[in-house]
Structure 1
Amino acid sequence: MSSSVERALRILVELASGPATISELGRRLDVHRTTSLRLLRTLEQERFVRRTADGRYRIGPRMTSLAQAALEGLDVRAAASTHLHDLGAACGHTVHLAAPEDGSMVYLDKVESRHAVRMYSRIGAPAPMHATGVGKTVLADLSESERDRLLGDPPYPRCTPNTRTTRSGLAADLAETAERGWALDDFEHEEFIHCAAAPIRDATGRVVAAVSVSAPHMVVDRNRLLALVPDLRRTATAISEELGWPGES
């Protein structure tokens, strides 16, 4: 990369955090004032930056439109693929990527377990939001009225003896999910399968999908499943960052 291109990119990165004067940019980036001015004029001509009335520079409209176009063109499955496979290789269990659609969670991608006992889930298949870890990560991000619109009136369909079918029971679980930042499917969807799930956020911070690790109880007990949560959450964070999420403030 040429030095001019590198410096121009560093200027854009710096201005992304807020407007700055030529002198401020020079000090932060250790670039001579004349060099900064030359680069800023070029960027201004191309509308990547704009000079304000007080003499400072800020991100310009062309940069904003490019960023928006890039975000709109992102594919959750494509952004997540490498991260899902890395998580699957590290833990050895089934990894799912799922997103909400028409009141259900739809599996977008799946990394198979290395173990002989495997799940019957398939890409494209729907799953109930209230009874799955991936679904509860999405519901935990919504208001009560939005949840009611998606789930309808209780009692919610019972999948196993552990399924939460009442509004109050599910609400308590979702409050805990929101507080700790991940969800647990405690044999609520399938009697012999438990899973942990973490939310995937877009550039606005909205939960748009979820990643989970699932395993039969005869392969992984509760403690070993919960031990995977830190890696699971790091994976969800990495995917979110691919989608433009800036992270926790």
Structure 2
Amino acid sequence: MPKTAAPDDSLDNATELDNDDASGAAQALVTPVMRGLRLLRFIAEGGSTANLSEVGRRIDMNRVTVMRLLATLEHEGMVERLPQGGHTVGFSFLKLASRVLAANDLTTFARRVLAQLSSSLQLSAYLAVPDGGHVLYLLRDMPNTGLVSNIQVGSRVPAHLTTPGRMLIAHLSPEALRERLGDDPLPTVTGQSPATHARLAEILGADLERGCAWSFSAFEPGIDACAAPVMDATGDVIAAISVAGPQQRFEADGTLRERVEKEVKAAAKDLSALLGYRANGKR
């Protein structure tokens, strides 16, 4: 008589583990946040908040909770009151969404812009983005002349030390700069590095006035660099384009510096336009 296979306990154990995982995941969820997101999604999809009781019925929560969540979302700028009653998504919500969309578009558009810039100038071209008090090098395009800079994709450097970093912090207030970079003395890598906020303010002021930042062996000995800011559709500085090349090349070609500045500014302007920025009216 054939032997009957013993029940596979591993299946039961696996089911129990799956249930435990699901239970743990459910316990990790924050109910008030879920309710707020549910309400925000309802408004974003065109739902009316003129009748709070009806809203509560539609999204399965009581009227008082709806009222409190609306007040919180309104305070944070995620929703705004309509003159005729009810709410619509607020500017802060739209700005946040636009930044996420722009981040996806940013690298797509930037690759093309960097390739053109690098090919035209025969210099390494970079896209950098802010990362707290640092700058993160996100993309790089190099000419056939080879690598001249030690900066790699993924390099993270204190913002005040590099040209793209300076462009990313130049618009900040002194208080915001100190909060982001810390107190004096600031980290330095060469004798040209600003060690104090007072000196940094002078440099950033000149950068803003010129519309770009220059470094003459200030970060890497023998390497000159230029950067310009990239704006999103709302006019915020979200990235910087830079190029870097051997100092001797700039010294040998008296027209190169002027051409670099012009083309870096133009590339940053082109990328900003692709992201929806308009100099007059921003959009």
Q: Same fold (TM over 0.5)?
A: yes
Matched, 1:73 2:97: no
CA distance in 2, matches of 1:112, 1:101: 23
Aligned to 2:170: 140
CA contact (8 A) 2:159 2:169 kept: yes
Q: How does 1:1-249 map to 2 (within 5 A)?
A: 72-74=100-102, 75=104, 76-116=106-146, 118-221=148-251, 223=254, 224-248=256-280
The one-letter code of the counterpart of 1:128 is P
Alpha carbons of structure 1 residues 175 and 67: separation in structure 2 relative to 1, 3 Å: closer
CA distance in 1, matches of 2:160, 2:113: 26
1:156 CA displacement: 1.1
Using the TM superposition, name which of 113-122 and 233-242 deviates more. Answer: 113-122
Deviations 1:107-132 (A, max 9, x none): 11001133245212111110221110
- TM, length-normalised to structure 1: 0.69
**Quick check: which has more Rg, 1 or 2?**
2
**Backbone CA RMSD of aligned residues:** 2.6
CA distance in 2, matches of 1:116, 1:212: 17
Deviations 1:67-92 (A, max 9, x none): 99676423221121111101111000
1:193 CA displacement: 1.1
Alpha carbons of structure 1 residues 138 and 69: separation in structure 2 relative to 1, 3 Å: closer
Deviations 1:214-236 (A, max 9, x none): 11212323852343111111100
CA distance in 2, matches of 1:212, 1:68: 26
SS at match of 1:134: helix
CA distance in 1, matches of 2:269, 2:146: 30
CA distance in 2, matches of 1:67, 1:151: 25
Deviations 1:179-212 (A, max 9, x none): 1111112222112111010000111111110000
The one-letter code of the counterpart of 2:127 is L
Alpha carbons of structure 1 residues 155 and 93: separation in structure 2 relative to 1, 3 Å: same
The one-letter code of the counterpart of 1:165 is A
1:172 CA displacement: 0.7
CA distance in 1, matches of 2:280, 2:165: 22
SS at match of 2:219: strand
The structure whose residues are more often helix, as a share, is 2
- TM, length-normalised to structure 2: 0.61
Using CA pairs under 8 Å that are at least 6 residues apart, name the structure with larger relative contact order, 1 or 2.
Answer: 1
Aligned to 1:26: none
CA contact (8 A) 1:93 1:114 kept: no
CA contact (8 A) 1:104 1:127 kept: yes
SS at match of 2:161: coil
CA contact (8 A) 1:92 1:115 kept: yes
Q: Could you list the runs of 5+ residues in structure 2 that have no partner in the other structure?
A: 1-87
Q: Could you list the runs of 5+ residues in structure 1 that have no partner in the other structure?
A: 1-60
CA distance in 2, matches of 1:245, 1:69: 15
